[in-house]
Amino acid sequence: MRRSLGAGTIAYPTPVFIVGTYDARGMPNIMAAAWGGICCSRPPCIAVALRKATYTYGNIVARRAFTISIPDEGHVVEADYAGVVSGAKEDKFAAAGLTAVRSELVDAPYVGEFPLALECKLVQAIELGLHTQFVGEIIDVKADESMLNADGRPDVAKIRPFMFDPGTSAYYGISRLLGKAFAVGRKLVKNQGGS
């Protein structure tokens, strides 16, 4: 039996993107954002949607750059903290005991302790309502070497990312490999001869 939950923002999984920016004084800041995702393969782009009221909003508009650091399970507390206080009030890097690493490619800092960081240049700001969606071109992805597999690709089992559940406002970990993409579903293809 289907039940209507109304018009709301429920989807799974949603990410925990830690958005890194510099403010007008050059102070590094982070905030947590769950409204976002990859949005283009060529050029590689990622979107993150923020309310105008956030400190990060003004920083991105002014610097036209941001980073997305992906936190690991071991930093749930720090990631959540980044979403509960404004950078206008606290030095969040200092309070969370995190290191602001200056990107050499874009005018924004990323989190040194987190396994993965995307360095982005702002390409579009799209007004959608309460949120403005910032689309950033991914100039580079930086990974801690210990997070890579033998092929030099990021290894989920080492990165241990987690997701945000907007239904109950909670964080959940990532578990086991379920199957290879573009592979496990092929057995359902009717015309196995291809096109």
**Contacts to its own copies from residues 120-149, by CB under 8 A:** 123-124, 126, 128-131, 133, 135, 137-145, 148-149
Residue 59 CB, nearest approach to its own copies (Å): 19
Tally the C-alpha atoms within 13 A of residue 61's C-alpha that lie toward its C-beta: 15
Of 58, 61, 80, 125, the one binding its own copies (CB under 8 A) is 80
Residue 179 CB, nearest approach to its own copies (Å): 5
Q: Please report the DSSP string for 9-57 in residue order.
A: ---S-B--EEEEEE-TT--EEEEEE-SEEEEETTTTEEEEEEETTSHHH
Residue 49 vs 65, nearer CB to its own copies:
49
Tell which positions 19-48 bind its own copies, by CB under 8 A: 34-47
What residue has token string 């995190």?
A: 98
Residue 40 vs 62, nearer CB to its own copies:
40
Residue 28 CB, nearest approach to its own copies (Å): 16
Of 25, 53, 183, 193, the one binding its own copies (CB under 8 A) is 183
Q: Please identify, among the stretches 20-28, 56-64, 89-97, the one whose residues bind its own copies according to the rule CB under 8 A.
A: 89-97
Q: Are 78 and 98 within 8 A, CB to CB?
A: yes
Residue 100 CB, nearest approach to its own copies (Å): 14
Of 9, 26, 62, 102, the one binding its own copies (CB under 8 A) is 9
167 contacts its own copies (rule: CB under 8 A):
yes
Of the candidates 81, 56, 63, the one whose C-alpha atom is nearest the C-alpha of residue 71 is: 81
C-beta atoms surrounding 61 within 10 Å: 14
For residue 130, give the H/E element and its range: none
Of the candidates 23, 19, 17, 47, the one whose C-alpha atom is nearest the C-alpha of residue 110 is: 19
Residue 15 CB, nearest approach to its own copies (Å): 6
Q: CB under 8 Å to 83, separation ≥6 — which residues?
A: 31, 32, 33
Phi and psi at 164, nearest 5°, equal -105, 135
Of 24, 53, 150, 177, the one binding its own copies (CB under 8 A) is 177
193 contacts its own copies (rule: CB under 8 A):
no
